[in-house]
Amino acid sequence: MKKKITIVDYGSGNLLSAKQSLLRAANLINIDANIQISNSPKSLKDSSHVVLPGQGAFKTCMDGIQKIPGMQDQLNEFVKIKKRPFFGICVGMQLLADTSEENGIHKGFGWIKGKIKKLPSTKIKMPHMGWNKIKIVNNNAHIKPKETDYYFVHSYYFECINKKDVVAETEYGINFASIINKENVYGCQFHPEKSSTQGLNIIKDFISL
């Protein structure tokens, strides 16, 4: 069956490189997939998978989604009612939390319990930028990442309330969640689309769901 993968365009995120990576991953595993970038909530209705990239500040990203009439409702229906595979990248992952402390307190989707907090920057350079290792802490997710380096750019991290939702952690001043998963919802704090073969493998695992 042909898969329809939608990358949500809400004015933030590296859309073209995300699309290129999804196309490459689909070709490598011979999956017949229609991969589109769309800012229309209607396109989510018949999608099999949704990818939410994100760059910049939490509130700017949340505002971008809320400015599109019906987008948040459609995302909620896709994730909570239809329970189809959803993947958040960087700030796209942070939006899954209940709240963020970036520039005030702001509400997220609340799909994975937790809050977005600032990395403690007393002894380390900010933002956390470049290649860093991940360590698997829960092996029960359908995504099977390798314990190797991935490409990060961020100053805030996801503090999960339920440790079972954390697939992998990374150390930068503290140990923070670098991959999270709850049921059909997945998120990476790093950029898999900029993380060479190992990032592509995560994308392959996601589109195989």
Instruction: Please list, in sequence order, all residues whose beta carbon lies within 8 angstroms of the beta carbon of residue 81, skipping any fewer than 6 positions away.
Output: none
Q: Give me the active site residues, please.
A: 90, 191, 193
Q: Which of 207, 119, 136, 126 is nearest to 178 (CA)?
A: 136
* DSSP string of 179-192, one letter each residue: EEEETTEEEESS-G
Q: How far apart are CA 133 and CA 153, in angstroms?
A: 13
Q: How far apart are CA 15 and CA 157, in angstroms?
A: 22
